Amino acid sequence: MTQPLPLILDVDTGIDDAMALLYAAASPDADLVAVTCVAGNVPGEQVAANTLAVLELAGRSDVEVALGRESPLLRPLKTAEDTHGPRGIGYAVLPPARARVSARSGVDLIAEEARRRPGELTLVTLGPLTNLAAALQVEPRLPRLLRRVYVMGGAFRVQGNTTPAAEWNMQVDPEAAWMVYRAWATALDADPTIARPVVLGLDVTERSPIRPDHVIRLARLAGSRIDDPIARADGEEPLLPAVPAAGNPMVRFVADALRFYFEFHAKWDGFYGAHIHDPMVVVAALDPALARTQAVFVDVETGSGPAGAMTVADFRGLTGKPPNVDVATELDGAEFLGRWVTRVGALALALYPPDAG
């Protein structure tokens, strides 16, 4: 049997970060070593509180959670409560976690664990790249010490979701992204055998939205009554706040968090569902065969004009610079959604089995 993949998740929890944490906790092929927190969707302290609470819900209070940077490298922090709710988890409410934030900073944790386990750890970044950029300043050898890095961020052949040019994580801290991609370019110049970061941008993460029928399937797998978390079983009508609460706490959390996300997308994107970008990156990290990638040179625009925070990918090789990133161009969205529903549903059933009656 293949050994579980040692992972560090770097999150700005957020609704889709929460769904990624649940997936990692539910995956037998993931060895969740630690979670580091960065300000992004909500301020840093709220990110840490959300992360601890979601991990406790998922039965993983044992995972070390460390708070890293609480602001971008050079810019004031922008947050996204309009997208993720006032606390970052939509309509969901979780009790405060019993576990506490680590005494280590998230930045130091990344550097220290990479030194302790050279060549073993995969870092999956789901928020702005601030923590990784800061960790590179602490430990410039990270491109050699980490087994691989997976990044959620950027928009390459599609428009951004924050500006026409920029995706949210890049927009929050473009200088950090610029530093990260330049660091790998420099490291690869010295040693071409280093693994390039794999970057999943909006080109792939927006192709496979989650919809109410996926929540229905998850509820069924968890043994939760269909009338509890959703309005109808056809996936056409929205999840309604007046529906009685699901007996399964994890199903209730997923439904309440995603309902906020669904309403946001219905308002701005014209469909009742959501792009859950972050779990897709965790799925790809655990099974790289699900994604097709192209090796390219990527830079990030750090100016303040209309192209600010744009991820610029040299698909045609016009710059003559060697690739520093593997950009995802395809991903099996049906398999991704199927795995997410199946694994999270199974975890919900195992942790919160229905009453015998």
Within a domain: 113: yes
State the pLDDT at residue 242.
Answer: 38
State the pLDDT at residue 237.
Answer: 52
For residues 248 and 286, give the distance between their C-alpha atoms in angstroms, rounded to a whole number. 27
Does the pLDDT of residue 38 top 50, yes or no?
A: yes
> Strand, helix or coil at 339?
helix
Q: Determine contact, residues 24/54, Cβ cutoff 8 Å.
A: no
Within a domain: 222: no
CATH number for 193: 3.90.245.10
Average pLDDT over residues 298-311: 96
Q: How many domains does the chain have?
A: 1
Least confident of 28-37, 162-171, 212-221: 212-221
Q: Determine contact, residues 281/151, Cβ cutoff 8 Å.
A: yes
pLDDT tens figures, 224-281: 864 444 444 344 555 544 344 467 999 999 999 999 999 999 999 998 999 999 999 9
Helices 130-138, 106-116: crossing angle, 10 deg rounding: 60
Average pLDDT over residues 183-212: 97
Distance, CA of 96 to chain centre: 22
For residues 311 and 189, give the distance between their C-alpha atoms in angstroms, rounded to a whole number. 21
Residue numbers of the domain that contains 299: 5-208+274-339
Q: Tell me the pTM.
A: 0.94
Within a domain: 236: no
State the pLDDT at residue 176.
Answer: 98
Within a domain: 230: no
Does the pLDDT of residue 285 top 50, yes or no?
A: yes
Does the pLDDT of residue 118 top 50, yes or no?
A: yes
State the pLDDT at residue 290.
Answer: 95
What band does 342 get if pLDDT is binned at 50, 70 and 90?
A: very high
What band does 35 get if pLDDT is binned at 50, 70 and 90?
A: very high
Within a domain: 156: yes
Within a domain: 198: yes
Within a domain: 125: yes
State the pLDDT at residue 354.
Answer: 86
Mean pLDDT, rounded, of the chain: 93
Q: Determine contact, residues 145/115, Cβ cutoff 8 Å.
A: yes
Within a domain: 67: yes
pLDDT tens figures, 312-329: 999 999 999 999 999 999
Average pLDDT over residues 197-214: 95
For residues 278 and 170, give the distance between their C-alpha atoms in angstroms, rounded to a whole number. 14
277 among known catalytic residues: yes
% residues pLDDT > 70 (the chain): 93
